[in-house]
Amino acid sequence: MGHCARVAGHCKRCEGELPFDILMAFQPIIDVGRRRIHAYEALVRGPHGEPAGQVLEQVTDTLLYRFDQACRVQAIEQASRLGMPVPLSINFLPNAVYEPEACLQATLEVSQRVGWPLERLIFEIVETERVQDRRHLRDIIAAYRRMGFRVALDDFGTGHANLDVLADLYPDKLKLDRQLVGGCHEDGRRQAMIQAIVAMADRLDVTLIAEGVEEAEEARWLFEAGISLQQGYYFARPALDALADDPSERIEALFGPRPRQRMAVCR
């Protein structure tokens, strides 16, 4: 079990430690086409695995910045200690970012300390519905991309992160919400909407990730529709302070085992 985070703030109005402990669970994002783990998303939990909702209930407005910073630091420290070999995706709260470069100092410091490559960090924007200043959010994304980070827009298709947001922002990745993904293999309306998003993402040069994939039929249909990056309980549940088991069996169940390569015969 890892050490729980108690991280000091990096500005005068946010100094101090969190009054509660946190730990991260990691869920893989699968590249179905390449049959491998593409990245891991860090998901906040309590120190004994308490659910995220229970943790978030303790986050007041005055603790928002410290909580956001603590999650980043904790995720990078755990990922490094676990020897994570792929990129790490970290959720962040846009309303906690008062000035992008300043708010990245803790991220840069912990990455340097543990030797985590900055190009292996992805930041997922959550709770876009609470952002009133769209220009501020656009500035955050631009600053993060200038520093070499990739940015994903979470929960796309729920109403909180929709076309009006995408018209103003320029993320590298879009994560389709479970509400749109669930039952897509047997729902013509969902299929039509997802196919339209696939075409749009291709035109905008945005990578799609389907989250909340829980059934093999969903995973198979999504892949055939052009979405190779997928995440959900079908492949693996979040693992507390650990990396998920090898999902290759689940992937092979979709398409069958890899064909064996025929050995060349010398003549």
Domain boundaries, the chain: 12-254
CATH code matching the domain that covers 12-254, chosen among 3.20.20.450, 3.40.50.300, 1.20.1300.10, 3.20.20.60? 3.20.20.450
pTM recorded for the entire structure: 0.88
- SS3 assignment for the chain: CCCCCCCCCCCHHHCCCCCCCCEEEEEEEEECCCCEEEEEEEEEECCCCCCHHHHHCCCCHHHHHHHHHHHHHHHHHHHHHCCCCCCEEEEECHHHCCCHHHHCHHHHHHHHHHCCCHHHEEEEECCHHHCCCHHHHHHHHHHHHHCCCEEEEEEECCCCECHHHHHHCCCCEEEECHHHHCCHHHCHHHHHHHHHHHHHHHHHCCEEEEECCCCHHHHHHHHHCCCCEEECCCCCCCEECCCCCCCHHHHHHHHCCCCCCCCCCCC
Q: Tens digit of pLDDT per residue, the chain (267 long)? A: 444 444 443 444 445 689 999 999 999 999 999 999 999 999 999 999 999 999 999 999 889 889 989 999 999 999 999 999 999 999 987 777 767 777 788 899 999 999 999 999 999 988 655 666 778 888 888 888 888 899 998 888 776 556 777 888 889 999 999 999 999 999 999 999 999 999 999 999 999 999 999 999 999 999 999 999 999 999 999 999 999 888 888 888 888 766 554 444 444
